[in-house]
């Protein structure tokens, strides 16, 4: 295993120290490294809180800031944060209008965020489940929440900045989640520092269709194919799952898993865009880059989120985080 680390058991705390120092103009660390929070809170605004296992950076800490999250709770690598982390984060960033938890549909995340919500006041939740690859896996009951979570956090975050009420933000978050579908493909495994070896074995001429962001299996193992062929299968699965809703304007988000260069991500974007346009979908907004990663795994996911006028406006709204910045 070749990684830039000092000791396996201090990877997370040292990473958080470096991250907070690099972005000290907009972020601060909570006590005991339990959460990352906005440095300046907006009184009377609903606080948005998310989190999950580390190893998916910049999700979620890199999305804390103006126009997105107020706090993010990092667990150990690929491990859910604990309820006390969410409770302390909520207490710290709730300025009186309540908190909305945005939670990826993994059993540990859902269970722990639910416990924290029950022990806190003024909390509602949005569960993201955009992955069309599999209905159930080792980690979930129902579909997994993957890269579409970023889309929910951006659109709902912009609405929160406008001062919308907690229940309205939950309604909006659920609506965006229903309009969003994702699917990924892995070319290699990833290596968790504590394990020191790849999560799974895959041949040099193989790929895993529908892989999860922890490297969990997807739909099938297949021989490596061209980018166009890969995009066609994924886009067909996404559009087919959306059904009649797959028409009109959409956001196309091609996300890298951590080990894929931008050159290949933009090539995949080009292939996916052509596939969706052949199906009568207009790509009105785009995002390409490694935002929801799986450590050093090579591969990518494709996310399509259907946009009405409100969603497009909120996507375009100003955002200032470590990972996303526009409209300044």
In a 3-state reduction of DSSP, which class is residue 47? strand
Q: Are residues 82 and 148 in the same domain?
A: yes
Provide the pLDDT confidence category of residue 217 given band limits of 50, 70 and 90. confident
What does the alpha-carbon distance between residue 320 and residue 39 come to, in Å, rounded to a whole number? 12
pLDDT on residue 137: 63
Contact by Cβ (8 Å): 127, 212: no
Q: Tell me, yes or no, whether 2 lies in a domain.
A: no
Q: Tell me, yes or no, whether 315 lies in a domain.
A: no
Q: Tell me, yes or no, whether 72 lies in a domain.
A: yes
Rounded to the nearest 10 degrees, what angle do helices 166-178 and 148-161 cross at?
Answer: 150
Q: Tell me, yes or no, whether 104 lies in a domain.
A: yes
Q: Are residues 76 and 209 in the same domain?
A: no
What does the alpha-carbon distance between residue 184 and residue 310 come to, in Å, rounded to a whole number? 27
**DSSP assignment letter at 30:** P
Domain limit, last residue, from 156, 178, 200: 178
Query: Quick one: which of 57, 59, 53, 13 has its CA closest to 216?
Result: 53
Q: Are residues 169 and 255 in the same domain?
A: no
Once rounded to an integer, what is the mean pLDDT over residues 51-71?
Answer: 97
Q: Tell me, yes or no, whether 320 lies in a domain.
A: no
pLDDT on residue 49: 98
23 is catalytic: no
pTM above 0.85, yes or no: yes
56 is catalytic: yes
Q: Tell me, yes or no, whether 266 lies in a domain.
A: yes
Contact by Cβ (8 Å): 158, 314: yes
Tell me phi and psi for residue 87, to 5 degrees: -65, -45
Q: Are residues 170 and 237 in the same domain?
A: no
Q: Are residues 172 and 195 in the same domain?
A: no
Tens-place pLDDT, residues 62-87? 999 999 999 999 999 999 999 999 99
pLDDT on residue 195: 85
What does the alpha-carbon distance between residue 313 and residue 69 come to, in Å, rounded to a whole number? 18
Provide the pLDDT confidence category of residue 199 given band limits of 50, 70 and 90. confident
Cα 42 → chain centroid: 24
Q: Are residues 77 and 188 in the same domain?
A: no
Domain limit, last residue, from 178, 205, 239: 178
**How many helical (H) and strand (E) elements, i.e. helices and strands, does the chain have?**
8, 15
CATH code for the domain in which residue 28 is found: 3.40.50.10440
Provide the pLDDT confidence category of residue 131 given band limits of 50, 70 and 90. very high
| 33, 56, 60, 320: the active-site residue | 56
Q: Tell me, yes or no, whether 200 lies in a domain.
A: yes
pLDDT at 140 over 60: no
pLDDT on residue 198: 84
pLDDT at 135 over 80: no
Q: Are residues 160 and 90 in the same domain?
A: yes
What does the alpha-carbon distance between residue 260 and residue 98 come to, in Å, rounded to a whole number? 39
Higher pLDDT, 193 or 157: 157
Pairing relation of β-strands 47-54 and 71-77? parallel
Specify the number of domains making up the chain: 2
Q: How far is CA 254 from CA 3, 197, 229, 272, 289, in A?
A: 26, 27, 16, 8, 7
What does the alpha-carbon distance between residue 211 and residue 256 come to, in Å, rounded to a whole number? 13
pLDDT on residue 201: 86
CATH code for the domain in which residue 226 is found: 3.30.1180.20
pLDDT at 234 over 80: yes
In a 3-state reduction of DSSP, which class is residue 232? helix
pLDDT at 138 over 70: no
Measure CA of the first residue to CA of the last residue in the chain; give whole Å. Answer: 41
* % residues pLDDT > 70 (the chain): 98
Contact by Cβ (8 Å): 311, 176: yes
Positive or negative torsion for Cα 76, 79, 83, 87: positive
pLDDT on residue 87: 97
* % residues pLDDT > 90 (the chain): 89
Q: Are residues 267 and 125 in the same domain?
A: no
Check whether the bond before 142 is cis (ω within 30° of 0).
Answer: no
Domain limit, last residue, from 128, 148, 178: 178
pLDDT at 106 over 80: yes
Residue-number span of the structural domain to which 235 is assigned: 180-309
Contact by Cβ (8 Å): 320, 39: no
> Helices marked H in the chain — which ranges?
11-22, 83-93, 107-118, 148-161, 166-178, 227-242, 262-278, 309-316
Q: Tell me, yes or no, whether 54 lies in a domain.
A: yes
pLDDT on residue 328: 77
Pairing relation of β-strands 47-54 and 99-104? parallel
Both tokens of 299, joined, read 């591969």
Q: Are residues 95 and 138 in the same domain?
A: yes
Average pLDDT of the chain, as a whole number: 95
| 23, 33, 214, 320: the active-site residue | 214
Q: Are residues 153 and 191 in the same domain?
A: no
Q: Are residues 228 and 164 in the same domain?
A: no
Provide the pLDDT confidence category of residue 1 given band limits of 50, 70 and 90. confident
Lowest mean pLDDT among 36-50, 94-108, 140-154, 278-292: 140-154
Q: Are residues 242 and 174 in the same domain?
A: no
With b meaning 16 or more CB within 10 Å and e meaning fewer, what string describes 9-21?
Answer: eebbeebbeebbe
pLDDT on residue 136: 66
């Amino acid at each position: 295993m070749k990684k830039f680390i000092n000791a396996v058991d201090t990877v997370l705390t040292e990473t958080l120290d470096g991250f907070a120092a690099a972005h000290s103009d907009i972020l601060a660390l909570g006590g005991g490294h339990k959460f990352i929070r906005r440095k300046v809170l907006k009184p009377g605004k609903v606080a948005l809180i998310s989190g999950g296992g580390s190893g998916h950076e910049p999700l979620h800490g890199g999305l804390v800031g103006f126009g997105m999250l107020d706090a993010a709770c990092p667990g150990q690598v690929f491990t859910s944060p604990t309820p006390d982390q969410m409770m302390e984060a909520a207490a710290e960033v709730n300025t009186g209008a309540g908190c909305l938890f945005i939670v990826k549909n993994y059993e540990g995340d859902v269970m722990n965020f639910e416990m924290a919500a029950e022990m806190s006041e003024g909390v509602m939740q949005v569960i993201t489940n955009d992955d069309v690859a599999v209905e159930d896996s080792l980690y979930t009951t129902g579909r997994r929440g993957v890269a579409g979570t970023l889309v929910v956090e951006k659109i709902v975050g912009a609405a929160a900045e406008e001062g919308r009420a907690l229940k309205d933000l939950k309604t909006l978050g659920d609506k965006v989640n229903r309009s969003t579908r994702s699917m990924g493909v892995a070319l290699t495994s990833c290596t968790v520092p504590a394990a020191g070896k790849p999560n799974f074995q895959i041949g040099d001429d193989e790929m895993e269709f529908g892989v999860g962001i922890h490297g969990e299996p997807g739909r099938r193992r297949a021989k490596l194919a061209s980018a166009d062929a890969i995009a066609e299968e994924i886009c067909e699965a996404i559009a087919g799952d959306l059904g009649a809703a797959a028409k009109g304007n959409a956001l196309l988000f091609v996300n890298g898993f951590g080990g894929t260069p931008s050159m290949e991500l933009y090539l995949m974007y080009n292939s996916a865009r052509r596939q969706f346009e052949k199906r009568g979908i207009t790509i009105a907004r785009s995002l390409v880059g490694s935002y929801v990663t799986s450590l050093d795994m090579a591969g990518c996911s494709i996310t399509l989120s259907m946009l009405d006028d409100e969603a497009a406006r909120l996507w375009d709204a100003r955002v200032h985080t470590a990972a996303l910045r526009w409209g300044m």
